[in-house]
Structure 1
């Protein structure tokens, strides 16, 4: 049973109960629960140095009076913010609008893994456009570290941040000399798988869709060329598309076809790009797989239900989010986590 505090017995309830003049403080809780203020602090911070009886008494008083822990103030009293900034590659998409479901699958995995660790997620803080902005944000204790979803064309900047010892982990291409920890699929192998598919279909005129300034896409292109090695009758053309947006991809393919392009095989940098390409070919009366073979990348759920169902390269996104968070936590704790290359596999469908 709760002891009756003196100030309540004398009719002096905490200010928060007298017309809301001010919010209930830890000192109020301490008086009401007949404990010291440090004891209240220990209870609210989950310290094991408090008996279960005292913990329950303090929490019952706090609940009865609607006391809520100010998490921001609590974070400032600790060495860490318990916040991770997740940075998306808005620059690779027209008008900064990301419409690729694959990114959101990754984001969902990261969010779930952070939630399990009781970490807050801060999504793409504004202004993180260069290395200085990342440094300033970290030094201002905006977050304990960064998870970057997509290298885009920022590899040089990320290498610079790694040299300055900023805690970050990147979803993207894995390179032994990058200096930062990356988690990503085997893009080179993915390109080789696409080549094997085209060769099995007897295709000779191949088109790669994608901006090879992105390391992931460059490796896929290189894998495609390696897969064609030894087949002198195969030609490979590159159609570089600076924006990853669906409409931009469709417009680029439409323009390419209008200028006389006539591939019989297309390897697209993503499944959404593959869908855009199919629309552009269809507008000219060309359909897959009759007129051309097509391979996408990522194996997002709509590919199985699209018409025609899209052959694609599958990445292990089911484990990617957990790996990214695990690697970042190791980095924040002072470790040197190793990069991880996830396996890829071909999912053959109608195209």
Structure 2
């Protein structure tokens, strides 16, 4: 910057102001400094700039790799969320650091934050990490989570009304006079537990309805299909199925079809998330819709409030059922 200042016949602080977009510099001076910088190949070292500032202007976005077989996430819903977060961060001129390696424990997160690896964390999916997230929140590490909203959770969360989503699925089954229901999902995940509880709530006064639970440790497509196939070989076949995601619903449909069962004739099926392929699958999947178009912006807004010293509240987004062929 000293060289640019000398060549442009201005002070070094003026060069700094120009390169940082300050409005305190005249247009004529700004153009002259930028032209000199361009001619001599000067560019701002962003990493050095971050070291001088109180913030890194970097947000770490953490995916729940642990809930997927071999750490491979294939559910389009996660990438819809990620796209929304990425767009909201870019509007705020924040860098996105995607799932930096080695962050497995609360201590790892804490050390990464204190080493100024990022200004805060957006966690897409609680998975089975609720205890760790609570620990981080109690240590005042900026953190926002996409997932279930619990009244006693010390961290800020944004998520859909999972209990209502399950209830809507149950009412859908009752309207079609289905009696043997199956919920597919790992209820160790708070989001999925609430969906299961909502399903049970819809049938609480119905003695003629039975609800089975098929827990699946991995959210991967193939693992879900294999689990459903094995389940069909050991129990009475269901006439209604509520899957933890649309991707899981697609996997289940394939397993049912191989066993000679088809929706909607033999069974009713409801997925979750309303990903775009659900409407074009054959048959088109009835699903619970989440307002993912709002989620990314909300997650970023809540985190930035924390980084600025605020105490943002959690948000429960509305859910609705989208009835299609299944």
Query: Does the pair score TM above 0.5?
Result: yes
Query: What are structure 2's unaligned runs of at least 5 residues?
Result: none
Q: Which of 43-52 and 200-209 deviates more?
A: 43-52
CA–CA distance in structure 2, aligned partners of residues 323 and 260 of structure 1: 43
Correspondence for 1:318 among 285, 293, 297: 293
CA–CA distance in structure 2, aligned partners of residues 165 and 37 of structure 1: 38
Summarize deviations over 1:199-253 as a string: whole Å, max 9, x none.
0110000000000000000000000000001111000000000100000100100
| Residue 112, structure 1, aligned to residue 69, structure 2 | no
Local SS of the residue matching 2:97: strand
Cα shift at 1:51: 2.6
- Aligned pairs (5 A) from 1:174-323: 174-323=149-298
Q: Which of 39-48 and 300-309 deviates more?
A: 39-48
Summarize deviations over 1:18-51 as a string: whole Å, max 9, x none.
xxxxxxxx12111110112222112112233323
CA–CA distance in structure 2, aligned partners of residues 180 and 118 of structure 1: 25
Count of matched residue pairs? 326
Local SS of the residue matching 1:146: strand
Aligned to 2:103: 128
- Aligned pairs (5 A) from 1:90-109: 90-109=65-84
Aligned to 2:124: 149
Cα shift at 1:66: 2.1
CA–CA distance in structure 1, aligned partners of residues 41 and 87 of structure 2: 29
| Residue 78, structure 1, aligned to residue 90, structure 2 | no
Summarize deviations over 1:270-300 as a string: whole Å, max 9, x none.
0000000000000011100111100000000
TM-score calculated relative to the size of structure 2:
0.99
CA–CA distance in structure 2, aligned partners of residues 308 and 327 of structure 1: 38
CA RMSD of aligned residues (A): 0.8
CA–CA distance in structure 2, aligned partners of residues 207 and 307 of structure 1: 21
CA–CA distance in structure 2, aligned partners of residues 249 and 324 of structure 1: 29
Local SS of the residue matching 2:205: coil
Summarize deviations over 1:62-89 as a string: whole Å, max 9, x none.
1222211111111111000000000000
CA–CA distance in structure 2, aligned partners of residues 313 and 338 of structure 1: 24
CA–CA distance in structure 2, aligned partners of residues 193 and 63 of structure 1: 60
Query: What are structure 1's unaligned runs of at least 5 residues?
Result: 1-25
Any runs of at least 4 consecutive aligned residues in structure 1 with deviations exceeding 6 A, and if so which?
none
CA–CA distance in structure 1, aligned partners of residues 22 and 324 of structure 2: 55
CA–CA distance in structure 2, aligned partners of residues 272 and 154 of structure 1: 22
Local SS of the residue matching 2:316: strand
TM-score calculated relative to the size of structure 1:
0.92
Aligned to 1:48: 23
Cα shift at 1:317: 0.3
| Residue 28, structure 1, aligned to residue 7, structure 2 | no
- Higher-Rg structure is 1
CA–CA distance in structure 1, aligned partners of residues 28 and 56 of structure 2: 30
Local SS of the residue matching 1:336: coil
